[in-house]
Amino acid sequence: MCPDPLTPYGNRPMVTPIVNAVNYEYASFEVLRQITDGEMNGYTYHRDDNPTVRKVEELLAEMENAEDCIVCTSGMAACTLVYLTYLSAGDHLILFHDIYGAHYKVSLILERMGIDITWLDADDSAGIQAHIRPETKMILLETPSNPLCKVVDIAGIRKAAGREDILLCVDNTFATPYHTRPLELGADLVIHSATKGLGGHNDLMAGAIAASKEHYNNLWFTRQAIGTTLDAYSASLLERGLKTFELRAEKMASNAMTIAQHLEGHPRISRLFYPGLPSHPGHEIAARQMHRGFGGMMSFDVGHDQEDAKKFICSLKRIYHAVSLGSTESLICIPHLTTMLYLPEERRSVFGVRPNTVRLSVGIEPPDVLTRDIRQALANL
């Protein structure tokens, strides 16, 4: 038996070594056979597997209470891995308008491959059963949704799907495993843009899919075939981010609740979406399926038009005008101009997002610093 490649020093290093090797010398033909036949853990080529990446996969699987996890190069790569692994020509896919805008681009590719897609509003998720067909193969959703933080009842969707052969895939990027564990609510696959809250520092790009060992094997086949294995350095950064993940998630949720309560009823805010507020339409469901808070994401409408939203953002001094989310810094953007730029103009407002809607990802700064910054920026309108 070869020594553990991560502990060749007699004592276990506190940081998983970054193994940049593309290939590995075989100790013997028998060792090669044992590795390729799955009789022993080992590595042959980076596109197949990497010890640094594998360590992060094990950590993420534990966080989602999954049998295993597969990590790849980005959140959208993870979503695409799922589509390519499980969908074929003639299959029916149900998506929600309320998901990250890049799915629209991927949907165009899927339609060229002969996959039929139904788009629903997350507000109508309770009626999803009416859209289930014999050829329905997959339902993919986000909760809370991007960017309006609508809440979808995961267990309710699982029950409404009615058939075990319909894969329920939940993007858990907004909630993170700190607040929600979709597998425990009936999901088959849990997807993350690990670029966001899991990494948390705006310095890496990665995607993850947590699931059963059987799903891991299926997804591994696709990842190995198309070559989207994460690089070892990014995996090391992700592992570092996971060490402080729970502390950051707790602080972000606490800060977000403080800000949401501060904004509620403000005369220059016409709509506010944060699942932790009792006034949120999905609060009851969120309270049932989210734990230890309601996450660090919210959205709200500023003033009367997009110019008001732009003026508000330009007046902020501590909150950064940038895309992405889940980082230590608070980030704000106008979805119509950023995350929804992938969508045709007529689709940007169909599910409730307005030109003056802003999306706020709350960071770990002192809450009084953030509320003071928001207050002074609103006063400039």
Residues recognised as catalytic: 47, 100, 171, 196
Query: Strands 92-96 and 136-142, how do they pair?
Result: parallel
Backbone angles phi, psi at 285, to 5 degrees: -70, -45
Helices (H), 130-282: 154-161, 176-179, 213-226, 232-243, 245-263
Identify any residues that bridge with 210 across adjacent strands, giving them in sequence order. 69, 190
- Three-state SS sequence of 42-92: CCCECCCCCHHHHHHHHHHHHHCCCCEEEEECCHHHHHHHHHHHHCCCCCE
Terminal Cα-to-Cα distance of the chain (whole angstroms):
69
Please write down the long-range contacts of 315-320, taking CB distance under 8 Å and 24 or more positions apart.
315/376, 315/377, 315/380, 316/373, 316/374, 316/377, 317/373, 317/376, 317/377, 318/365, 318/369, 318/370, 318/373, 319/360, 319/370, 319/373, 319/374
- Tokens standing for residue 292: 């230890």
What order do you get walking across the sheet with 207-211 strand by strand? 68-72, 207-211, 189-193, 167-171, 136-142, 92-96, 116-120
Task: Give the position of tokens 């407002």.
Answer: 349
Identify any residues that bridge with 68 across adjacent strands, giving them in sequence order. 211
